[in-house]
A and B are shown apart, each in its own frame.
Chain A
Amino acid sequence: EVQLVESGGAFVQPGGSLRLSCAASDVIFSETSMHWVRQAPGKGPVWVSRIAPDGFVTTSDSVRGRFTVSKDNAKNTQYLQMNSLRVDDTAIYYCVRDTYYAFDLWGQGTLVTVSS
């Protein structure tokens, strides 16, 4: 079954760091663009980052310089390293597959809570 499974979400204090992982089944990372999308409680989704098949990364203005994206094609896993976390980073973080500019496969999400 094709699926994405996120992990690593936790409660962290402002200024802290966290690394999220996304493991994929039946998704070939070396051929697929993958994204992170977050959704704060009661709000709409917000695009965070994209890693292209060749490893090229783009990130949104709100996380640039604080969040880093990487992947391991052999493990079909992507990572989101989040540093200098802020209260407004609190959200469910989804790992999402991109098929021709549409987000056609979503993980179940992992909750990140940033609070003092």
Chain B
Amino acid sequence: QSALTQPPSASGSPGQSVTISCSGTSSDIGAYNYVSWYQQHPNKAPKLIIFHVTQRPSGVPDRFSASKSGNTASLTVSGLQAEDEADFYCGSYAGNNEWVFGGGTKLTVL
């Protein structure tokens, strides 16, 4: 159960787009379309923003989009806003009723 790999940081100016990658293996991201993304503001619980690779829960702005290619998933935040500054985590089903998360990416809005 190795953690998924994310860059520790990402940044962009308001209005710009930024993409965060999440690298896994053929046993997790590559094997299932059960990749999720979570946004976490300081001292808050994580919040689901993407599920099943590309789907947004109700209420999540369409500025958040995601995709997957092979063993790597990606989250794109378009039209950056100040309130997007947060930590982002990817997660994936890893088979055998087990799950794995990424180490997180701190997004800074410059």
Contacts and interface: CB of A to CB of B under 8 A. Distances in A.
Interface of A: 35, 37, 43-47, 50, 52, 56, 58, 60-61, 94, 99-104, 106-109
Interface residues of B, number: 25
Contact of B3 (A44, A58, A109): A44
B103 A50 contact: no
Interface of B: 1, 3, 32, 34, 36, 38, 45-48, 51-52, 57, 89, 91, 93, 96-104
A35 B48 CA distance: 15
A94 B96 CA distance: 21
B1 A60 contact: yes
Contact of B101 (A44, A99, A107, A108): A44
B3 A52 contact: no
Contacts of A107: 45
B34 A102 contact: yes
Nearest to B99: A47
B93 A104 contact: no
Given A44-B103, A101-B93, A106-B47, 16 more contacts: A43-B103, A44-B3, A44-B104, A50-B99, A58-B97, A61-B1, A94-B45, A99-B51, A100-B52, A101-B32, A101-B34, A101-B52, A102-B34, A102-B36, A103-B38, A103-B91
